[in-house]
Amino acid sequence: MSGDQKAQFYLGIQFIKGQGVPKSIFHAVAWLSLSSAQEYQPAIAALADLRKHIETKRFKDAQCYAASLYEQIHQLQFSDLIPQACKK
């Protein structure tokens, strides 16, 4: 998994609280999922707690959104390795 697990955790918490970003359990689940996939224990605990406050389908949708975020992060990290012809 790519990214800083603590930063992803804190962004998820910001979405829970609505501090500096719109309050959104959906986005909180997405960012906490990225962090918890890297075995960050506070994110794992927060995600388990949030699970009680969101419908199963919405939870799974947020995890799919997290997967798309992961892909974007991964592409940015390795963009210098992608040949210019492929970037068009």
Q: Give the pLDDT band of residue 15 (cuts 50, 70, 90).
A: very high
| Per-residue pLDDT tens over the stretch 26-53 | 999 999 999 999 999 999 999 999 999 9
Instruction: With both helix axes pointing from N to C terminus, report the angle between 25-36 and 5-17 in degrees, rounded to the nearest 10.
Output: 160
Q: Give the pLDDT band of residue 23 (cuts 50, 70, 90).
A: very high
What is the rounded distance in angstroms from the CA atom of residue 10 to the CA atom of residue 53?
19
Tokens representing 70? 């992961």
Q: Give the pLDDT band of residue 83 (cuts 50, 70, 90).
A: low
Tokens representing 79? 């963009």
pLDDT the model gives residue 70: 85
Nearest Cα to Cα of residue 1 among 34, 45, 48: 34
Q: Give the pLDDT band of residue 72 (cuts 50, 70, 90).
A: confident
